[in-house]
């Protein structure tokens, strides 16, 4: 018999489901090995009902992983007939096409049984710092990028498949870390499964089906109500993403059709897949299209299968946004992160107050440093970096965040204790925020030195980079101007951010993350806000004058209102 | 000592300043409450003491101790009323404070705000020096450059200076040099250096903590000296202690030096009281539950000990959202604070479900029934309409509650829009807030490795005893304990707080390579430092008469290690009971680590290497015992304490049923009665369902048994 929950009970149980995943999430931060997980939180935990419909995800989930997983888990768990699942099974895969779009994202899936019945699936994707292969964005196919683990059983009815562990161990550079992190994944799924059963038991429920129906239906309804408010139509935009030297820009075309409470995003006309690692699988493209729409229409509602129902995506097969196996995909964020801002741009005409200009943290920057210390010990450290967020109609862009992805930085003191390198600088980049009535967020500069004294590591010191915005800066909106570009310099000379950079002791690497785009005409910015920016050193005196038409007395740091009025009149035309 | 036998606990809250006066000879406790005076909180302290002297003449001269908790520090951060503060840091890192850790705490909310740093960019200066991660000097600090930086800050008019250099936790030489130069250039200015405030890895957390300390230091110092002065001027000659966030108490001097450590000074008292009851009654697991007007604070106490966590977030921009505040890394009692109180607002969410909290109507305008202009139905309104509160006996009758207005509010804003009956609405509000607290409590209890099925809930605060029974039902907890004067009784915790101090040294070394003699030295240094601090806290003449060099004998040191698998991020704390670390075998340390790790995470990996990260010492002086006042042994039957009967809602009956109403002040020891019952005292009301029974012990505690015939002795440790 179908059980209906009154609104109060539903709220109570719903909240419980989310706290269950958050418990699993915090088990990860306590047990994980690599700093990319423990400090930067590059992982996502979630669980689905027995049909694979996502019910809850961790509060700090990364949108790219969670969106791609929601889609991927549903497909994967329905591949096998339900009766083939056994208690104690744990599946493992890093198939980029099945899940989160590159080999580093390894997923563990556990079927959960309650009273002998298949009830749920818990899953987690961790970004493993090391998955073997050649660590670079310019590989030509996925075979160069590391170990590919198809969907296999890591545990069969509770019995470890040691061959899988051995296979992984011999294909990566830092096996202890990789295996340690897989153990942390097992723990996360275990915690989640236990708590689900406990919840069912305490509430005298036989399964999740009715609860799942009602939670996802309510969520869908809420999303639809918001979408319905905007006028029907097809809204178009395109994004241009730079490639390495000598290659034409990638173009992504989006037609966003709003029809009643449905949204269909069609990426027809986007560039064909490329012969380097920037290719995006369908799931990952979907994740950032979804991120845009959810953040615009219903940011607060907990994420589950219901949020996604009104959103359909069409992406031509073989294009850069729906690449075919065996395309290289390691650096999929370099292109994939752009989808969110392209959707914002398309819909900015109808919901100008719910979007932000382009962000310097789109794409996130990822640096993989690895090599050997002077005593021969290997190290392998991955750090991620954000830039300035785009401004909105109401506020300046936040400084140095990863957007639309999410994650934290790695403390300099942790990085220096994990590696032999010296970080000379991690600071805000003055004048990098795109001018506008609302200013884009500032980007940041980080400088690394390879020691050449008794601490010098054994050359070469390897640096793999995933980044963008070196050529095309983050654009502004509604008259706002672009933020500053990203830069990658080795000993003050421009380096190649797509290749594998080999460094030697004494080298200095400078990396700038881009600033966010401005929103609205900078000549309309409140002169007092410009004054404050100058006093704090976010904007220089010169740029205050050139970009904002604000004249500030260098001695008193006060705005000269009269001179400002005249200057703005003159340059404003 | 016999001429000084009073102790006074004093807690300055947002609205009220609470006083608890204890006579150590008789065990008698007196309570007083007056309005807080935000301009100068010591005003209220003086005024309150003078008022109390009317009833207890001459007690001030006989006061041995005043123990003080305050929300002053946290409020000055939240309201940004601290000092103009400057920061000196390593070249290249002036923006560490502003960049923070970079995670977006609400991933789908692109408009989420982040807290502004306490020190603006122009007041953050750099010096060209550098220490490596192993503590060696990469670039020495130039005294001239350092002096220039200090002068620049002084010219900019700062009142307080924070110093935090990269990797200084491994080698503080440069920070000490800077401190010296600052003291030369501006004698008497407030200085906070990171090595003294938090010698621990991770530059953002350390800078943020040091900066927060610097930010509140001048104001805390001024306030504390004013308070000490006022107390002196009214004849107080005893010792003044300040409550630490970690649950200990400390001297005025130490609190003024490290104000960041007294940030949660106020709410900690309830936890200390809970710890004391845990020990006194020998209860193995207590869930301390303090529910006031705006928030509920809870804490699991196992075998009389509450957990202490190393991190705290202050001034969350989006209320209660983890990640939206400033990070401060100081030991804080592991309190779980959620937006659930009597003033929590009930409304219909956009999803068409009921939502209660975290928004609160606060004390002003407050719930509708206060009749002070509040229009949003709150938890207190529902409690009143359910019959749990007496409209004519709120705060002992000082405040009349408007039931009719509350009824209209719930009808219009909750029942009608949700399409549920009035009864469903009021019960739903009460029940949902209980569920919110229960859900949070379950997570908290589970994380600490406790079991809700065996906890004894101890209810404090104005709303705690009203909701304690419902919370216990939801948790499946077998027993509820309501101390006398539960509405303010948490202040009793001040008298039982240990005089303790926590110190930590960060030093990463693999177990295999660790030199245990060297580690023993680290421990000894930490203990000497802690002893120095604690010695400052006892005066020569009294309390510890044979002290001097012997005082160190009185001090109890607890050592522990933070350990982890090499390459792992989080540490696992391993207590070390031995007094001489150099005598312990490495295998034994490893065995203890594996044992604890397995208990926490299900399995351990003996084949993988482990390392030390932090060395910790907690130093404490013996707890002074508290003699609880015994009730008069007049034999009265429960009937003599009965005020009458009142219709109140029973979730089991699904309807209103008659509850017997008792006057708590007329209950005698040994009295037993069965629910449904309502027990009223001035500051709170205890609700007991029909399936539970109540017994009153010799101290006037109400022991509420929810499981009938189960053997409650099995809950004892």
- A197, pLDDT greater than 50: yes
Q: Which of B534, B506, B476 is nearest to B134 (CA)?
A: B506
| CATH assignment at residue B239 | 3.30.420.40
Pair B598, B517 in one domain: yes
Per-residue b/e over B612-622, b at no fewer than 16 CB within 10 Å? Answer: bbbbbbbbbbe
Average pLDDT over residues B707-712: 58
Q: Which residues of B touch A400 (CB under 8 A)?
A: 99, 102
Beta bridge partners of A405: none
Last residue of a domain, one of B557, B590, B621: B621
- A73, pLDDT greater than 90: yes
Q: Which segment, A458-462, B246-250, B709-713, is predicted with the most confidence on average?
A: A458-462
Q: Encoding tokens for residue B651?
A: 């979730």
Instruction: Please give the residue of chain B at the shortest CA–CA distance from A191.
Output: B601
CA distance B248 to chain A (A): 27
Confidence band, pLDDT 50/70/90 cuts, at residue B581 = very high
- B101 vs A29, A176, A408: nearest CB: A408
CA distance B514 to chain A (A): 17
Per-residue b/e over B327-352, b at no fewer than 16 CB within 10 Å? Answer: bbbbbbbbbbbbbbbbbbbbbbeebe
CA distance A453 to chain B (A): 10
Pair B53, B12 in one domain: yes
pLDDT of residue A40: 87
Largest CA distance in chain B: 82
- B274, pLDDT greater than 80: yes
CA–chain centroid gap for B676, Å, is 33
Q: Which residues of B touch A31 (CB under 8 A)?
A: 568, 570, 601
**pLDDT tens per residue, range B33-91:** 777 787 788 898 999 999 899 989 989 999 988 999 887 888 788 778 899 999 999 99
For the ranges A356-370, B18-32, B52-66, B411-425, the lowest mean pLDDT is seen at B18-32
Please give the residue that has the higher pLDDT: either A286 or B352: A286
- B131, pLDDT greater than 50: yes
- A408 vs B103, B432, B568: nearest CB: B103
Cite the DSSP H helix spans in B56-167: 72-78, 96-99, 143-155
pLDDT of residue B448: 67
Q: Which residues of B touch A373 (CB under 8 A)?
A: none
Average pLDDT, chain B: 87
- The DSSP line for A9-67 is HHHHHHHHHHHHHHHHHHHHHHH--SHHHHTT--EEEEEEETT--EEEE-TT--HHHHH
Average pLDDT over residues B690-714: 80
Q: Does A412 touch chain B (CB under 8 A)?
A: yes
Q: Name which of B104, B309, B424, B608 to mutate to probe chain A: the one with the most chain A Cβ atoms within 10 A of its Cβ.
A: B104
| CB–CB contact A33 B568 (8 Å) | yes
**pLDDT tens per residue, range B94-122:** 999 999 999 898 899 999 888 899 999 99
**pLDDT tens per residue, range A418-445:** 899 999 999 999 999 999 999 999 999 9
| CB–CB contact B351 A35 (8 Å) | no
Whether residue B318 lies inside any domain: the answer is no
Beta bridge partners of B160: B85, B190
Q: How far apart are CA A179 and CA A106, in angstroms?
A: 11
Q: Are strands A500-503 and B16-23 parallel, antiparallel or unpaired?
A: unpaired
CA dist list (Å): A226 to A93, A219, A305, A368: 36, 11, 17, 41
Please give the residue that has the higher pLDDT: either A157 or B35: A157
Pair B249, B136 in one domain: no
Q: What phi and psi, each to the nearest 5 degrees, are found at residue B691?
A: -95, 5
Number of domains in chain B: 4
The complex scores an ipTM of: 0.93
Pair B72, B86 in one domain: no
Q: Which residues of B touch A182 (CB under 8 A)?
A: none
Cite the DSSP H helix spans in A203-243: 209-228
Q: How far apart are CA A385 and CA B577, in angstroms?
A: 43
- A398, pLDDT greater than 50: yes
CA dist list (Å): A211 to A306, B28, B387, B442: 13, 55, 33, 21
For the ranges A3-7, A129-133, A441-445, B545-549, the lowest mean pLDDT is seen at B545-549
Contact predicate A308/A225, CB 8 Å: no
- The DSSP line for A131-196 is -SS--STT-SBGGGG-----SEEEEETTEE-HHHHHHHHTTSS-HHHHHHHHHHHHHHHHHHHHHH
Q: How far apart are CA B18 and CA B494, in angstroms?
A: 12
Instruction: Please give the residue of chain B at the shortest CA–CA distance from A302.
Output: B108
Whether residue B363 lies inside any domain: the answer is no
Please give the residue that has the higher pLDDT: either A232 or B713: A232
- B711, pLDDT greater than 50: no
* Sign of torsion over alpha carbons B118, B121, B127, B130: positive
Q: Sheet containing B249-251: which strands, arranged edge to edge? A: B29-35, B16-23, B6-12, B63-70, B239-243, B249-251, B499-510, B610-621, B556-565, B572-576
Average pLDDT over residues B564-580: 86
Q: How far apart are CA A168 and CA A177, in angstroms?
A: 11
- B122 vs A395, A406, A537: nearest CB: A537
Q: Does A392 touch chain B (CB under 8 A)?
A: yes
Confidence band, pLDDT 50/70/90 cuts, at residue B543 = very low
Q: What is the DSSP letter of A466?
A: E
Average pLDDT over residues B180-200: 94
Q: Does A56 touch chain B (CB under 8 A)?
A: no
A/B interface, count of CB pairs below 8 Å: 193
Q: Does A204 touch chain B (CB under 8 A)?
A: no
Domain of residue B106 covers: 82-210
Q: Which of A20, A14, A25, A9 is nearest to A195 (CA)?
A: A20
**pLDDT tens per residue, range A90-136:** 999 999 999 999 999 999 999 999 999 999 999 999 999 999 999 98
Beta bridge partners of B703: B481, B695
CA distance B362 to chain A (A): 24
Report which secondary-structure segment, H or E, holds B599. helix B586-601
Pair B64, B95 in one domain: no
Q: pTM for the full model? A: 0.86
Other CB atoms within a 10 A radius of the CB of residue B571 amount to 17
**pLDDT tens per residue, range B2-33:** 578 899 999 887 667 888 898 888 878 888 87
Contacting A residues, span 144-163, partner chain B, CB-CB under 8 Å: none
| CATH assignment at residue B518 | 3.30.1490
Whether residue B354 lies inside any domain: the answer is no
Q: How far apart are CA B72 and CA A197, in angstroms?
A: 45
Q: Name which of A227, A360, A427, A536 to mutate to probe chain B: the one with the most chain B Cβ atoms within 10 A of its Cβ.
A: A427
First to last CA, chain B: 35
Q: Name which of A28, A413, A536 to mutate to probe chain B: the one with the most chain B Cβ atoms within 10 A of its Cβ.
A: A413
Contacting A residues, span 339-358, partner chain B, CB-CB under 8 Å: 356
Q: Which of B346, B95, B129, B279 is nearest to B204 (CA)?
A: B95
Contact predicate A436/A476, CB 8 Å: yes
Pair B162, B102 in one domain: yes
Q: How far apart are CA A302 and CA B353, in angstroms?
A: 14
Q: What is the DSSP letter of A439?
A: P
| CB–CB contact A218 B353 (8 Å) | yes
- B502, pLDDT greater than 90: no
Contact predicate B11/B195, CB 8 Å: no
Q: Which of A380, A382, A388, A386 is nearest to A483 (CA)?
A: A388
Whether residue B168 lies inside any domain: the answer is yes
Q: Encoding tokens for residue A264?
A: 């269909």
Q: Which residues of A touch B603 (CB under 8 A)?
A: 183, 187
pLDDT of residue B335: 84
| CB–CB contact A62 B107 (8 Å) | yes
* Omega within 30 of 0 (cis) for the link into B25: no
Torsion of CA B200, B205, B207, B208, to 10 degrees: -140
Q: Name which of A5, A6, A7, A421 to mutate to probe chain B: the one with the most chain B Cβ atoms within 10 A of its Cβ.
A: A7
Instruction: Please give the residue of chain B at the shortest CA–CA distance from A448.
Output: B92
pLDDT of residue B339: 79
Whether residue B186 lies inside any domain: the answer is yes
Q: Are strands B344-348 and B354-360 parallel, antiparallel or unpaired?
A: antiparallel
Q: Does A176 touch chain B (CB under 8 A)?
A: yes
Q: Which of B217, B189, B205, B235 is nearest to B50 (CA)?
A: B235
Q: Does A432 touch chain B (CB under 8 A)?
A: no
Q: Which residues of B touch A392 (CB under 8 A)?
A: 110-111
Confidence band, pLDDT 50/70/90 cuts, at residue B714 = very low
Q: Which residues of B touch A395 (CB under 8 A)?
A: 111, 113
Q: How far apart are CA A537 and CA A97, in angstroms?
A: 46
Q: How far apart are CA A131 and CA A147, in angstroms?
A: 6
Q: Which residues of A touch B339 (CB under 8 A)?
A: none
Pair B520, B589 in one domain: yes
Q: How far apart are CA A508 and CA B67, in angstroms?
A: 56
Pair B90, B203 in one domain: yes
Pair B71, B87 in one domain: no
CA distance B376 to chain A (A): 19
- B586-593 long-range Cβ contacts below 8 angstroms, 24+ apart: B586/B511, B586/B512, B586/B514, B586/B516, B589/B511, B589/B561, B589/B563, B590/B511, B593/B563
Whether residue B86 lies inside any domain: the answer is yes
Beta carbons within 8 Å of A236's beta carbon, 6+ residues apart: A253, A254, A255, A256, A346
Pair B64, B11 in one domain: yes
- B319, pLDDT greater than 70: no
Pair B654, B708 in one domain: yes
| CATH assignment at residue B98 | 3.40.50
- B437, pLDDT greater than 50: yes
Whether residue B570 lies inside any domain: the answer is yes
pLDDT of residue B514: 95
Pair B654, B605 in one domain: no
| CB–CB contact B109 A299 (8 Å) | yes
Other CB atoms within a 10 A radius of the CB of residue A377 amount to 10
Report which secondary-structure segment, H or E, holds B541. none
Q: Name which of A5, A9, A11 to mutate to probe chain B: the one with the most chain B Cβ atoms within 10 A of its Cβ.
A: A11
**pLDDT tens per residue, range A317-354:** 999 999 999 999 999 999 999 999 999 999 999 999 99
Confidence band, pLDDT 50/70/90 cuts, at residue B626 = low
- The DSSP line for A334-402 is HHHTHHHHHHHHHHTTT-GGG-----TTSSPEEEEEEEE-TTS-EEEEEEEE-BPPPP-SSSPPPSSB-
Q: Which residues of A touch B568 (CB under 8 A)?
A: 31-33, 38, 180
Last residue of a domain, one of B570, B586, B621: B621
Q: Which residues of B touch A423 (CB under 8 A)?
A: 92
Average pLDDT over residues A363-371: 96
Q: How far apart are CA A214 and CA B644, in angstroms?
A: 45
Whether residue B346 lies inside any domain: the answer is no
pLDDT of residue B541: 36
| CB–CB contact A33 B447 (8 Å) | no
- A15 vs B109, B350, B439: nearest CB: B439
The dihedral region occupied by B461, where left means phi > 0, alpha psi between -120 and 50, and beta the remainder, is: left
- B567, pLDDT greater than 70: yes
| CB–CB contact B567 A222 (8 Å) | no
CA distance A488 to chain B (A): 18
- A9, pLDDT greater than 80: no
């Amino acid at each position: 018999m179908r059980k209906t929950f009154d609104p109060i009970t539903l709220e109570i149980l719903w909240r419980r489901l989310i706290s269950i995943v958050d418990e699993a999430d915090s088990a990860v931060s306590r047990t994980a090995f690599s700093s990319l997980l423990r400090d930067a939180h590059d992982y996502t935990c979630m669980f689905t009902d027995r049909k694979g419909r996502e019910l809850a995800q961790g509060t700090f989930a990364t949108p790219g992983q969670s969106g791609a997983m929601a889609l991927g888990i549903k497909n994967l768990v329905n591949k096998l007939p339900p009766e083939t699942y056994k208690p104690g099974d744990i599946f493992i895969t890093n198939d980029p096409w099945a899940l989160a779009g590159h080999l580093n994202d390894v997923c563990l899936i556990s079927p959960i049984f309650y009273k002998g019945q298949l009830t749920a699936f818990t899953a987690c994707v961790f970004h493993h710092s090391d998955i073997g292969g050649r660590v670079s964005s310019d590989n030509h196919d996925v075979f160069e990028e590391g170990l590919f683990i198809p969907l296999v059983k890591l545990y069969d009815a509770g019995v470890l498949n040691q061959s899988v562990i051995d296979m992984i161990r011999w294909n990566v550079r830092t096996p202890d870390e990789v295996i340690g992190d897989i153990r942390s994944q097992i723990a996360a799924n275990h915690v989640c499964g236990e708590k689900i059963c406990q919840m069912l038991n305490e509430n005298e429920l036989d399964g999740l089906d009715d609860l799942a129906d009602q939670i996802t239906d309510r969520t869908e309804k809420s999303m639809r109500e918001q979408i319905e408010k905007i006028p029907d139509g097809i809204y178009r935009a395109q994004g241009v993403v730079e490639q390495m030297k000598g290659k034409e820009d990638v173009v992504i075309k989006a037609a966003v059709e709003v029809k009643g409470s449905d949204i269909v995003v069609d990426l027809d006309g986007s560039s064909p897949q490329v012969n380097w690692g920037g290719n995006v699988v369908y799931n990952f493209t979907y994740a950032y299209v979804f991120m845009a729409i959810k953040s615009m229409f219903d940011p607060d509602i907990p994420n589950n299968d219901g949020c996604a129902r009104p959103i359909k995506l069409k992406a031509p097969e073989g294009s850069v946004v729906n690449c075919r196996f065996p395309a290289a995909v390691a650096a999929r964020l370099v292109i994939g992160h752009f989808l969110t801002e392209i959707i914002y741009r398309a819909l900015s005409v109808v919901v100008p107050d719910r979007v932000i200009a382009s962000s310097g943290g789109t794409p996130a920057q990822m640096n993989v440093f690895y090599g050997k210390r002077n005593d021969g010990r290997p190290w392998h450290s991955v750090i991620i970096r954000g830039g300035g967020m785009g401004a909105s109609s109401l506020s300046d862009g936040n400084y140095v965040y990863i957007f639309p992805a999410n994650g934290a930085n790695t403390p300099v003191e942790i990085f220096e204790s994990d590696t032999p390198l010296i970080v000379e600088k991690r600071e805000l980049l003055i004048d990098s925020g795109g001018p506008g009535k609302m200013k884009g967020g500032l980007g940041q500069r980080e400088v690394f030195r390879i020691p050449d004294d008794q601490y010098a590591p054994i050359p070469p010191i390897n640096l793999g980079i995933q980044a963008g915005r070196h050529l095309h800066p983050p654009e502004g909106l509604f008259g706002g101007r672009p933020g500053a570009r990203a830069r990658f310099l080795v000993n003050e000379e421009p380096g190649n951010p797509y290749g594998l950079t080999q460094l030697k002791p004494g080298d200095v690497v400078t990396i700038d993350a881009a600033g966010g785009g401005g929103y609205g005409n900078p000549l309309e910015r409140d002169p007092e806000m410009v004054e404050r920016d100058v006093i704090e050193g976010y904007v220089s005196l010169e740029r205050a004058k050139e970009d904002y038409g604000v004249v500030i007395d260098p001695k008193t740091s006060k705005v000269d209102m009269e001179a400002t009025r005249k200057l703005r009149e003159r340059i404003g035309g | 000592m016999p001429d000084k036998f009073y102790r006074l606990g004093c807690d300055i809250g947002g609205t009220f300043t609470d006083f608890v006066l204890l006579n150590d000879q008789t065990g008698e406790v007196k309570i007083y409450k007056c309005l807080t005076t935000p301009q100068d909180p010591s005003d209220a302290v003086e005024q309150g003491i003078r008022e109390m002297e009317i009833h207890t003449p001459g007690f001030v001269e006989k006061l041995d101790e005043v123990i003080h908790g305050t929300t002053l520090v946290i409020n000055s951060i939240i309201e940004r009323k601290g000092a103009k503060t400057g920061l000196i840091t390593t070249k290249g890192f002036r923006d560490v404070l502003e960049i923070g850790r970079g995670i977006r705490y609400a991933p789908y909310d692109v408009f989420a705000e982040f807290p502004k740093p306490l020190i603006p960019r122009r007041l953050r200066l750099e010096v060209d020096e550098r220490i490596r991660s192993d503590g060696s000097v990469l670039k020495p600090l130039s005294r001239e450059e350092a002096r220039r930086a200090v002068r620049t800050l002084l010219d900019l008019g700062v009142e307080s200076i924070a110093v935090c250099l990269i990797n200084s936790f491994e080698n503080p030489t440069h920070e000490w040099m800077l401190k010296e130069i600052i003291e030369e250039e501006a004698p008497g200015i407030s200085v906070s250096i990171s090595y003294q405030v938090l010698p621990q890895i991770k530059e953002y957390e350390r800078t943020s903590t040091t900066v927060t300390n610097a930010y509140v230091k001048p104001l805390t110092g001024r306030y504390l000296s004013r308070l000490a002065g006022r107390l002196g001027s009214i004849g107080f000659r005893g010792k003044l202690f300040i409550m630490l966030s970690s649950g200990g108490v400390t001297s005025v001097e130490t609190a003024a030096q490290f104000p960041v450590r007294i940030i949660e000074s106020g709410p900690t008292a309830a936890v200390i009281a809970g710890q004391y009851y845990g020990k006194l009654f020998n209860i193995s697991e207590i869930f301390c539950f303090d529910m006031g007007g705006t928030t509920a604070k809870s804490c699991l106490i196992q075998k009389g000990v509450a957990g202490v966590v190393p991190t705290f977030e202050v001034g969350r921009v989006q209320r209660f959202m983890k990640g939206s505040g400033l990070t401060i890394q100081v030991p804080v009692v592991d309190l779980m604070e959620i937006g659930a109180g009597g003033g929590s607002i009930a409304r219909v969410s956009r999803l068409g479900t009921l939502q209660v909290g975290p928004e609160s109507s606060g004390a002003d305008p407050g719930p509708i029934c206060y009749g002070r202009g509040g229009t949003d139905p709150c938890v207190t309104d529902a409690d009143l309409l359910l019959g749990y509160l007496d409209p004519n006996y709120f705060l002992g009758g000082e405040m009349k509650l408007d039931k009719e207005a509350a009824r209209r509010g719930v009808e219009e804003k909750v029942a009608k829009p949700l399409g549920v009956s009035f009864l469903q609405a009021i019960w739903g509000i009460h029940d949902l807030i209980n569920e919110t607290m229960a859900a949070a409590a379950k997570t908290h209890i589970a994380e600490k490795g406790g079991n809700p099925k065996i906890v004894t809930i101890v209810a404090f605060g104005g709303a705690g005893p009203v909701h304690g029974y419902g919370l216990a039902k939801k948790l499946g907890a077998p027993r509820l304990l309501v101390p006398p004067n539960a509405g303010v009784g948490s202040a009793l915790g001040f008298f039982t707080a240990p005089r303790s101090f926590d110190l930590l040294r960060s030093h990463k070394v693999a177990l295999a390579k660790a030199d245990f003699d060297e580690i023993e030295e680290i421990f000894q240094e930490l203990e000497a430092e802690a002893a120095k601090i604690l010695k400052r806290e006892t005066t020569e003449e009294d309390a510890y008469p044979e002290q001097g060099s012997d005082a160190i004998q009185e001090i109890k040191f607890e050592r522990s290690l933070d350990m982890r698998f090499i390459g792992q991020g989080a540490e696992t704390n391993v207590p070390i009971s031995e007094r001489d670390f150099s005598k312990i075998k490495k295998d034994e340390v490893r065995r203890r680590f594996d044992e604890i790790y397995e208990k926490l995470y299900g399995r351990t990996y003996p084949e993988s290497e482990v390392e030390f990260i932090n060395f910790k010492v907690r130093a404490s002086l013996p707890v002074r015992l508290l003699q609880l006042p015994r009730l008069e042994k007049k034999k009265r039957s429960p009937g003599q304490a009965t005020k009458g009967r009142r219709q109140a809602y029973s979730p089991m009956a699904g309807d209103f049923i008659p509850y017997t109403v008792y006057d708590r002040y007329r209950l005698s020891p040994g009295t037993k009665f069965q629910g449904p019952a309502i027990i009223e005292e001035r500051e709170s009301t205890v609700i007991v369902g029909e399936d539970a029974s109540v017994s009153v012990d010799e101290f006037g505690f109400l022991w509420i048994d929810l499981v009938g015939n189960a053997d409650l002795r099995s809950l004892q440790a």
